[in-house]
Structure 1
Amino acid sequence: MVNFSLEGKIALVTGASYGIGFALAKGFAEAGATIVFNDINQELVNKGLAAYEAEGIKAHGYICDVTDEDAVNALVAQIEKEVGVIDILVNNAGIIKRIPMIEMSAKDFRQVIDIDLNGPFIVSKAVIPSMIKKGHGKIINICSMMSELGRETVSAYAAAKGGLKMLTRNIASEYGEYNIQCNGLGPGYIETPQTAPIRTPGHPFNEFIISKTPAARWGTPEDLMGPAVFLASDASNFVNGHVLYVDGGILAYIGKQPK
């Protein structure tokens, strides 16, 4: 029987106080995993703990900046001591700055790269040694359609996510022999509180996304749960270095012909 169960597994989802990270962690919990998450400050950690508790999930929350290598190493050691060795890592923490490239400062560009690309490198590097010792591990990097496409005002984000796609392939290449699978999950345009203002009927961006999506709708956080559980479970033990795009078909579609 195909094994999608995460019973007995410990999953660290970075930046999972809310949004897509929270939805993925909830899906993991429903599949039996113990949830660990971090965020940048105590306020967000508390918000996350309350949200998990409201869903009946006992989660372990920690403060940690994923760009601080010493802090990440200390976090992983603390999790191993207090919860156990991490079986599943989801590099979800990230930011986006929508600024035209020629108006964007190098400082802002570096900040996006630091969080969205260096962060996954730092956290992955911290968990891999114990995964090697344990004889298995799953790393899921939250990529994006911007791993494949460009778009106005997101030069730093696209550069980071394109780099993350290649980091995913390289972790798979370097550590696959240790039964560690590293794959990417590429969400399309998802219904979240952050996208609510631009999802109203008649809004130009809402119409644009629906016209570009063969599914003719926005995705939901629930649409991401099944693919994430697949990549975190033994069902994907021979899937490595792959990016699974959950985008309703956008990347496969050239778009409607103008009338």
Structure 2
Amino acid sequence: MAETSSPQSVIDWTEADRLSFTRRWNDANAFNLMRRNAGFKEYQTIRQRAFFYDWFDQIREVQGHEILWPAAAWIVAMQMSNVENLLKNLFIPDAMKPFAKEGNKAIFEDVFPRLADVFERGLKGKPLKGKEAENWDNETLRHEQFDVVQPIYQKHIRLTPDLKEELLKMASGSGLYVFGGLAIGGALDFKGDILKAQDRFHHGSKVVTAFYQRFKAAIDASRKRRQQAKPDPSAGGRIAFKP
């Protein structure tokens, strides 16, 4: 059932749970990661998947992982989730909506087992650090851009050639696709050809991660205001919370 107004099991949560980072939201995510080949099915919208990435980025940090792919995925997914905003939707080209939904879903379903591996390593006290973390980020992002979404880009551009300009706006965090009001001074500007996997790989690995690191303090402050609880660093690899 996943997101619902009346949670019935450990895999269920309410919208308020997700928005406020409650214990029930945490427990559902952790349980779903244990279902590595099926847990992804519980997340039905771009926004739900974006909030999962947000949660995972905080958990991986507590577990000691130095990977940055989840943070970059969160930022990009939040930009994409604007197609689900009823007001912004009025001004976003119709062709953008199926592209965003298909691409986001494909990436999430593909990476979920890899995130489950990372989560389990954290529980065992074996975090990804240094060169190993860097290699994990690069391998995950390269596979995502070259193998998972490149066919999706090609398919939708064939159907709607004019979509390219809108894709560039989204990647750059401009116009309707600003991330949390933080895309100032062209910090997310996309350089290159949005239809080339290598250029998107460079954007994700160099530009989006740099954006996250640059605004990490502001992001953490926003999380603190929004969330009812936060991961407890003293819990090590285990999942615990403190107010």
The verdict on a shared fold, with TM-score over 0.5 as the criterion, is no
Could you say which structure has the higher helix fraction?
A: 2
TM-score, normalising length: structure 2: 0.28
Could you say which structure has the higher strand fraction?
A: 1
